[in-house]
Amino acid sequence: MSRLILGAMVRAVGAYPSGWRFPGAHRHPLGDAALLKRTAALAEAARLDYLFFGDWLATGKDLEYRDPYLVARIDPLSAITFLAGVTERIGLIATANTTYADPYTLARATASVDILSGGRAGLNLVTGAEPRAAGNHGLDFHAANESRYDRAVEFEIALRRLWDSFDDDAIVADAETGVFLDEAKLHTTDFHGAHVSVTGPLNVARPPQGHLPIVHAGTSPRSRLFAAQSADLALVAVGGLDHALAVREELRSLAFESGRDDRELKVIAPVLPIIGDTLAEAQGIADRLAELLPVAEDWAGGPPRGFPEARSIRTLSQLVELELDGLGPDREISPRLAADFGAAGQALIELVAARTGRRPGGPNPPRIRHLVVQQAVPASMIVGTATDIADEFEAWADAGAVDGFNVLSAVQPAQFEAFALGVVPELQRRGVFPRAYETDTLRGHLGLARPANVHAHGAAEAGRAPASTPEPAHLSESDVK
């Protein structure tokens, strides 16, 4: 099998909503610089391919309960620029939202980071609109949201043209002749679409990678089409092995139909492993995280404003097809009560058992709280030892379901350390991940060729037209946070 691609999605206060409350966890954003340097050092020592920084362009009280890592966080371009100076080989991927970003400014910033890092930068393009973010950028939410994918397609074309403003050898810098620039190799980069307009050329030399690797995520038809046509990495949340196989086949078929070499599109699955020295220890960590996460019924007078609706016994009742209101979050799930659950409830009981070790009728039975939390936190979670995690990764790769994984850490720094120091060496021992960096650029780590200059090769005028698949006017699931 081909070697796995492994990256880490960095969320400084932990990817699990209660991770910041775990003993020893990093929990204050003002300390993020030290945490990021520590994470980067561990990741590079483990030879991970990249660190990935998502984004969210607004904040609010509700995020404290839903996703605390979104409340206050470092700008992703600032984060990768900072880490470029303290790392040497690992790739660094930042997120930008094409709904709000300016293509010239973004092309300039990302080309600069690629030069400063020696060709290690990548760019995750997201498209979603959110009312608070729209307000922060002086835009009408509905107007921005309805056109977001049409704008994204034009944005990506403009970015590539701008990155290719200079040929690789345009800067002559010949002190003898006094010629600094071969003006024939500085290109006009005009692009004027319905949503994006830019003249250029860019005032930054062509990036070492030519074009930064582009990432896109999402599950909607329009999102998958954009990923298949434009992205190098498609980041896709999947519900299981069979689902992953189907999604990868769909994406590669779409890529082939759009005229691409479908092998160039790498499909990456996000995953949140909970790792312990033993299965019981890993389950204990998952169990403690569930215990630390409040549910709506913990407040006698009702939860605070903005509390997630899904994290309630009322929502759980609908899922398990049994009225549970009035029982309370700490009511034990007995075998008799569990027997009255519908099929979805039975599956949830099995999921809780696999993740926490709690079973109805066992010495440590689950409580209603555990079921509420598990159904309300939709992370693709694997609980077990380093060997267990490696087994799962290898099985997915052997089946051809994914090209790699984007790893989240429930608790920082402990769970990332467990992955870097435990799971990665096990994958290296099995020969599915390298023990040393084999290339110097992010494109090299990902097995991607360096693209030709679109201007020099006459490809600039062959830009793709925006796809016409309609997209509903609500928050896009393609936002990678």
Instruction: Determine the pLDDT at residue 479.
Output: 44
How would residue 192 be classed by pLDDT, with cut points 50, 70 and 90?
very high
Both tokens of 74, joined, read: 């470092």
Rounded mean pLDDT of 70-87? 97
The better pLDDT of the pair 145, 130 is held by 130
Q: Are 12 and 412 in contact (CB under 8 A)?
A: yes
d(CA 126, CA 290): 30
Rounded mean pLDDT of 226-232? 95
Q: What is the pTM of this model?
A: 0.93
- Alpha helices by DSSP H, listed for 30-182, are 32-45, 62-66, 76-84, 103-117, 131-136, 141-146, 148-163
pLDDT at residue 460 tops 60: no
Q: Are 226 and 232 in contact (CB under 8 A)?
A: no
Q: By percentage, how much of the chain surpasses pLDDT 70? A: 94
Instruction: Determine the pLDDT at residue 458.
Output: 55
Is residue 55 annotated as involved in ligand binding?
Answer: yes
Both tokens of 144, joined, read: 């921005």
pLDDT at residue 445 tops 70: yes
How would residue 465 be classed by pLDDT, with cut points 50, 70 and 90?
very low
**Mean pLDDT lowest among 143-157, 202-216, 256-270:** 143-157
Q: For 291-323, what is each residue's pLDDT tens digit?
A: 999 999 999 899 998 899 999 999 999 999 999
- Enumerate the domain spans of the chain: 5-275+382-479, 294-376
Instruction: Determine the pLDDT at residue 327.
Output: 92
Instruction: Determine the pLDDT at residue 480.
Output: 58
The CATH architecture of the domain made up of 5-275+382-479 is Alpha-Beta Barrel (3.20)
Return all residues near 203 (Cβ < 8 A) that are at least 6 apart: 108
Rounded mean pLDDT of 416-420? 98
Q: What is the dihedral of CA 249, 10, 112, 104, to 10 degrees?
A: 60
Is residue 149 annotated as involved in ligand binding?
Answer: yes
Rounded mean pLDDT of 239-249? 90
d(CA 477, CA 118): 33
Is the preceding peptide bond at 413 cis, omega within 30 degrees of 0?
yes
pLDDT at residue 461 tops 80: no
Rounded mean pLDDT of 114-121? 98
Neighbours of 437 (CB within 10 A): 15
**Mean pLDDT lowest among 157-161, 238-242, 277-281, 449-453:** 238-242
d(CA 295, CA 309): 9
pLDDT at residue 417 tops 60: yes
Is residue 127 annotated as involved in ligand binding?
Answer: no
pLDDT at residue 17 tops 80: yes
d(CA 114, CA 106): 12
Instruction: Determine the pLDDT at residue 1.
Output: 58
Rounded mean pLDDT of 388-396? 96
Instruction: Determine the pLDDT at residue 457.
Output: 61
**Mean pLDDT lowest among 25-29, 148-152, 385-389:** 148-152
What is the SS3 assignment for 53-67? ECCCCCCCCHHHHHC
What mean pLDDT is reported for the chain?
92
pLDDT at residue 478 tops 70: no
Is residue 469 annotated as involved in ligand binding?
Answer: no
- In the block, tokens 């990817």 appear at 15
Return all residues near 368 (Cβ < 8 A) that are at least 6 apart: 313, 316, 324, 327, 328, 329, 330, 331, 333
Rounded mean pLDDT of 100-121? 98
